[in-house]
Structure 1
Amino acid sequence: MTPVPRTWGLRFWLITVAAVAAILVTASLGRWQLSRAAQKQELQSLLDQRAALPPIDNQQLRGHAGEADGVQDLIHRAVLLQGRWVPEHTVYLDNRQMQGRPGFFVLTPLRLEGSDAVVLVQRGWVPRNFQDRQQLPLVQTAPGVVQLAGRIAPPPSRLYEFQGADSSQGSSRIRQNLDLTAFRTETGLALMNLSVLQAGPASEGLQRDWPVIGAGVDKHYGYAFQWFGLSGLIAILYVWFQLVRRFLRPRPRPLA
């Protein structure tokens, strides 16, 4: 008796093509995530180098900010500035969170000592009074010349804003977002195209538990692991169900 040969039908080849395509796609996505991780690693190294540099003072800040690409080169650099608060232009950005609690980010312009240049300072976070949503929390603002330690940051990030919302009006202290160009026109201040994130422990009624600076390298490594794991799982399932089980399955006896 001659054993019956196993056939490789259309269903087998369709499954094979689909499995190979899925393995290639998931493996490519894993490699892409690794390339993104390498880019983020370079960015993290740059951020670490900037954070290790000596703090920038008033004169250095004005000099760098006046250059064409100076602002981007300053992001995340430490600063040690002297100036006077401009408290009449303090703004409270609504719906900001710190440690999972909703409240305000308090922003106050700081006029640098010895010049007309002004930098917008993200001073910290305060909780909101939900019993009276228009009540401004108490924030202490020292008069005279103050010394400020912090780091350079982009202007505050924007949140989604409903059209016609009261908090978006330029005349309101409480706002959803703050456009630096419009704020410069509104106040008449010589605001730089950057902001300063004030550092230090809680003070003046403000908390400053800012997120740690990071480029998110670990996230991309995690995604890459998931894609490569899925690619390997598809390969294992294909080999088991389409090859191993096919040859382990008892062969039917041929008819006499």
Structure 2
Amino acid sequence: MLRLSHQMCRQVAGSRLKAPNIPTLQLVTRKMTQQRVRMDWNTSIPSPAAKDKEKITALGWFLLLIPATTFGLGVWQVKRKIWKEQLIKDLNEQLSAAPVPLPDDLSDLAHMEYRLVKIRGRFLHDKEMRMGPRSLIRPDGVETQGGLFSQRDSGNGYLIVTPFQLADRDDIVLVNRGWVSRKQVEPETRPLGQPKSEVELTAVVRKGESRPQFTPDHKGGNVYLYRDLPRMSASTGAALVFLDAIYDAQAAKNGPIGGQTRVTMRNDHLSYLVTWFSLSAATSFLWYRQIVKRKPF
């Protein structure tokens, strides 16, 4: 009997050692399940909030107009630069082309600026006018302030504008004879340069000027600050025609120095297109960094 009881006790003890710990097993299983669910959620199912952050908003697309617009302005300035360079080239070709006779209808000269024309007649020296002050344009095209061309080339001077009575008609036109120094502004200081007989000369067709900004109005008399064609014509009885005499070495010895035509065509389009393209590149970089990459500064 005692031996049987001892064997039953050993069996009960063995069964207790082999039986698993139920609470411990449930805790481990729960932790493994939580870890597996959390890992699957983060790797396989994207967050809706993250998707919303990756989208470009309507404001972001609107800000893209800034680099697009500046790029378009740069392209426009490229076209303007090509057009202006071609226009300046055409004007220089006109200045070197063969002169043509003065048209019978003087109104045709409105479409012939910078064209060379031939005229014949005599100067009306008693109605001579001055325009300036101006610096001298030498025959080689260099504008100088003094001392390089002749002894008269000392600082600024004036352009001598004289009415010209055409020989074959009753019309009077205005001719810019050329540049003189301040010492030779008065006609009495250059008597040999005041021809009274008929002369033939070649001149460049010019148009009138509007009063430049910050330039005061004329104070009267025969001195003009800019090419005020209506007022010059009204004071002399001349037609609304203004001509620049070309350079003549013989006439320049004793009188005004011709060839004072300035081709006033500004060409700043290179600096403009560089500015617009630079702004386009800078704003494109900022838009990509802020809107696409979401990188704050």
Instruction: After TM superposition, give the deviation of residue 112 of structure 1 in Å.
Output: 1.8
**Amino acid of the structure 2 residue aligned with 1:175:** Y
Instruction: After TM superposition, give the deviation of residue 124 of structure 1 in Å.
Output: 1.9
| Distance in 2 separating the partners of 1:100 and 1:22 | 45
Instruction: After TM superposition, give the deviation of residue 205 of structure 1 in Å.
Output: 4.8
Are 1:63 and 2:101 an aligned pair? no
What residue is the counterpart of 2:32 in the other structure? none
Partner residue of 2:180 out of 106, 111, 126: 126
Distance 1:97 1:244, change over 3 A: farther
What residue is the counterpart of 1:144 in the other structure? 197
Partner residue of 1:193 out of 208, 219, 240: 240
Distance 1:242 1:185, change over 3 A: closer
| Distance in 2 separating the partners of 1:236 and 1:42 | 35
| Count of aligned residue pairs for this structure pair | 228
Partner residue of 2:207 out of 143, 150, 154: 154
**Amino acid of the structure 2 residue aligned with 1:200:** Y
What residue is the counterpart of 1:132 in the other structure? none
Distance 1:62 1:199, change over 3 A: same
What residue is the counterpart of 2:111 in the other structure? 73
TM-score (norm 1): 0.68
Instruction: After TM superposition, give the deviation of residue 144 of structure 1 in Å.
Output: 1.1
Distance 1:237 1:56, change over 3 A: same
Are 1:213 and 2:266 an aligned pair? no
Counterparts in 2 of 1:46-61, with a 5 A limit? 46-47=90-91, 50-51=94-95, 53-57=97-101, 61=102
| Distance in 2 separating the partners of 1:161 and 1:223 | 27
The Cα RMSD (Å) is: 3.9
| Distance in 2 separating the partners of 1:174 and 1:214 | 22
Instruction: After TM superposition, give the deviation of residue 95 of structure 1 in Å.
Output: 3.5
**More strand by proportion, 1 or 2?**
1
What residue is the counterpart of 1:82 in the other structure? 120
What residue is the counterpart of 1:26 in the other structure? 70
Secondary structure of the residue aligned to 2:64 is helix
Instruction: After TM superposition, give the deviation of residue 232 of structure 1 in Å.
Output: 1.6
TM-score (norm 2): 0.60
| Distance in 2 separating the partners of 1:128 and 1:80 | 29
- Asked if the contact 2:244–2:259 (Cα under 8 Å) also holds between the matched residues in 1, the reply is no
- Asked if the contact 1:23–1:235 (Cα under 8 Å) also holds between the matched residues in 2, the reply is yes
**More helix by proportion, 1 or 2?**
2
| Distance in 1 separating the partners of 2:116 and 2:110 | 14
**Amino acid of the structure 2 residue aligned with 1:90:** E
| Distance in 2 separating the partners of 1:25 and 1:141 | 60
Greater C-alpha radius of gyration: 2
Alignment gaps of 5+ in structure 1: 130-134, 250-256
What residue is the counterpart of 2:273 in the other structure? 224
Distance 1:214 1:194, change over 3 A: same
Secondary structure of the residue aligned to 1:246 is coil
Partner residue of 1:108 out of 145, 162, 178: 162
Instruction: After TM superposition, give the deviation of residue 142 of structure 1 in Å.
Output: 2.2
Greater relative contact order (Cα < 8 A, sep 6+): 1
Identity of aligned residues (%): 21
Alignment gaps of 5+ in structure 2: 1-38, 137-142, 146-155
**Amino acid of the structure 1 residue aligned with 2:129:** V
What residue is the counterpart of 1:175 in the other structure? 224
